[in-house]
A and B are shown apart, each in its own frame.
Chain A
Amino acid sequence: MKRQDLEQVQLERLQSTLNRAYKNVPFYKKQFDLLEIHPGALGSVQEITQLPFTTREDLGNNYPYGLFAVPLRDIVRIGSSAGTTTKPVVVGYTKSDLKVRDTITARFLAAGGVVYMDVVQICLNPGLSNWGRALKGGAENIGASVMPMSHMSTSKQLMAMQDYKTSVLLTTPSYAMHMLEVMGAIGIDADSLSLKAILVVGEPLTQDTRDRLESALNVDVTTGYGPSDVMGPGIAFECHEKNGLHISEDHFLLEIVDPDSGVPRPPGETGEVVLTTLTAKAFPLIRFRTGDLAAIVEGSCPCGRTLTRMSGITGYTGEVLTIRGVKVHPAQIDRILKGISENFSPRFLLHLYKENHQDMVEVWLAIHEAIFWDEVKVLENTMKQLRKQIFQTLGLQVTIKLVEASTLEQYAKPSGGVIDDR
């Protein structure tokens, strides 16, 4: 598609998205009215910078259906994720939204080499189950044979990979590395696999990880991007050039802004990724702040696609952590810990580290009389309950370590602080 044509399509879709959002979503109407912005006044795609941002807090505050732009009866899928407030983030899809998501996801998969003859295996942790469904839909859309996410152990996954002749693996970079280690440990030879490509999502793909996977398994490794809690994984995708991710600009507008001032950053400079949906019917998002850091890649791609490219995610803004691809806010853990007993204000730090290439979370909780029981059994039970609750809320396995308050103090961080050793 020529750039000029693409820009016309973007403008048309942006205008109708704004018209729908203004008319059907009280939250957006209030925001626009407050700033005296009329959606009909937007003359070009670039003028989107005049509109206010939407944050994860806004999503939480409008729990559950506050941001839906169509009546509930048009919704065919309701997805929810932990979000960053007390309430989960609920995302709705109409039939046509799901179709669009499958199309975009298929684009990402096709650019990574997936064709209808492939056997595609999806290995993601439960916190990324929304993506698991999107990837399944996209791969089925291409016509590949798909093994959806399951709770099999890594060795079972590898057995399936070997026996079912999996040709494409969809997973996170860290889990791919973990699988590689387990292969070595249980003695599976790379030559015994039929893998030709690994497409990774959820976490930034480092050059080192790519090189190691590619050389050890003789595959192509490419990656896709999308915030895991609200959108599909194919918002931007790598082509075989592996030099930046092409943005699906016909369905999303992507801006890079200064995380503090919100001012747009020029191409080449790193900033926060801000996304606007152009075709979403049920859950339009206008200038959604993802918390992910990236930059626009300048110049045209030798692959021939005219879609602008972005860099991979190079970091995250503010307090939201990304652990195994799952967005986590320390306040969520704080709330769960508070539930131990009344009037208990927990002091804790989050220790993040890697084990077998996987992100691990340790909650260092300061010992306090409110959580001190004489009986070890009660204490153990409480810890077990906490781990379970955290898993149920965030989809993450964590370990909880009780430490002396003085131990935490030496890190000089407020409660909920993060020690990132990844």
Chain B
Amino acid sequence: MLRIKNVHTYYGRIKALDNVSLHVHEGEIVSLIGANGAGKTTILNTISGLIRCAQGEVNFEDQKINGLAPEKVVGIGISQVPEGRQIFGPLTVLENLQLGAYLRFKKKEKKRIERDLEWIFQLFPRLKERITQIAGTLSGGEQQMLAIGRALMARPRLLLLDEPSMGLAPLIVKDIMNTISALRDSGVTILMVEQNARASLRISDRGYVLETGRVVVQGSSDELLNDADVKRAYLGKDYKTFWEGRERV
């Protein structure tokens, strides 16, 4: 579904992505994990068109999409849930969700948008309870639900999630992860960036581990969960010495 080849992305003169290639099959949940500054978010932003890559190719359903404006990318079926939710605080829950369908506001879409709202409320009953509440007053978990709901209102086939568990209590993290799993079952393909590698790999099919803008390990989630490299990269720890832990006293 999504195929990225040899992508190089810069922030000014700083190279954030160095020859990154990855792919996502339809119906998969794929996690990008790694320490802060490894380039995870940059990958999502490169896909969604928020940043342009200097080199390389981003293909979505065999169509080249790098260079497309962000709203065009949304139009072809890719939505991003940004890090830190970025909901519209002063607006109500309903208004936030409606804005998610911004690109679809046409007369004949009205019925379908109504139906999608219902679908979102099924996924997140909590949002229905708070439909008229000002979004800024929601709890962190509810805001995350709203951010995901808003992205879903564009009816994406590929959902990009940036740190969905950030700043949430463990119990809420579990909730959010379950919801993401349920979303996949309803036909949305997911590419997710997570600091909480364990939680995200548990619901993922595969994962890529990034270090300083490069992919250093990839594999099935089971493989990665048991990989010593992953533990290191996720903790941001580097190899100290070859004999680490085995030095003779």
A interface list, Cβ under 8 A from B:
5, 8-9, 11-13, 15-16, 19-20, 23-24, 39-44, 65, 68, 70-74, 94-96, 99, 279, 281
Contacts and interface: CB of A to CB of B under 8 A. Distances in A.
A41 B217 contact: no
A70 B229 contact: yes
Given A39-B19, A70-B228, 20 more contacts: A8-B23, A12-B21, A12-B22, A12-B218, A15-B20, A15-B215, A20-B216, A20-B217, A40-B19, A41-B19, A43-B19, A70-B239, A71-B242, A72-B243, A73-B228, A96-B223, A96-B227, A99-B223, A279-B219, A281-B227
Interface in B179-236: 208, 211, 214-219, 223, 226-229
B95 interface: no
B107 to A, nearest CB: 41
Contacts of A43: 6, 19
B18 interface: yes
B216 A16 contact: yes
Interface in B11-44: 18-23
A281 B229 contact: yes
Contacts of B241: 71
23 contacts: A5-B23, A8-B5, A8-B21, A8-B23, A9-B23, A12-B218, A13-B218, A15-B20, A16-B215, A16-B218, A19-B215, A20-B216, A24-B239, A40-B8, A65-B242, A71-B239, A71-B240, A71-B245, A72-B242, A72-B244, A74-B228, A99-B223, A281-B217
Interface in B31-72: none
Contacts of A15: 19-21, 214-215
Contact of A96 (B6, B19, B226): B226
Contacts of B18: 40
A235 to B, nearest CB: 19
Nearest to A5: B23
Contacts of A65: 242
A19 B211 CA distance: 9
B104 interface: no
Nearest to A8: B23
A19 B229 CA distance: 13
A23 B226 CA distance: 21
A279 B229 CA distance: 13
Contacts of A99: 223
A43 B215 CA distance: 14
B128 interface: no
B215 A12 contact: yes
- Size category, B interface: 20 to 34
Contacts of A94: 228
Contact of A16 (B217, B242, B244): B217
Given A68-B242, A73-B245, A11 B21 contact: yes
A298 to B, nearest CB: 26
A14 to B, nearest CB: 9
A122 to B, nearest CB: 27
A43 B18 CA distance: 11
Kindly list the 10 A-B residue pairs having the minimum CB-CB distance in the complex, ordered from nearest.
A40-B19, A40-B18, A74-B228, A19-B214, A71-B244, A73-B245, A16-B215, A12-B21, A43-B6, A8-B23
B47 to A, nearest CB: 15
B106 interface: no
B132 to A, nearest CB: 47
Contacts of A70: 228-229, 239
Nearest to A19: B214
Contacts of A39: 19
B23 A12 contact: yes
Nearest to A74: B228
A228 to B, nearest CB: 27
Given A42-B19, A71-B239, A72-B246, A95 B214 contact: no
A39 B214 CA distance: 10
Contacts of B214: 15-16, 19, 40
Contact of B244 (A5, A42, A73): A73
Nearest to A24: B239
A87 B245 CA distance: 26
Nearest to B245: A73
A281 B209 CA distance: 13
Contacts of B211: 19, 23
A236 B22 CA distance: 26
A416 to B, nearest CB: 36
A39 B5 CA distance: 15
Nearest to A9: B23
A8 B62 CA distance: 13
A72 B247 CA distance: 10
A95 B8 CA distance: 32
B182 to A, nearest CB: 27
B154 to A, nearest CB: 27
A11 B216 contact: no
A22 B78 CA distance: 35
> Looking at B21, B227, B229, which has the most chain A CB atoms within 10 Å of its CB?
B21
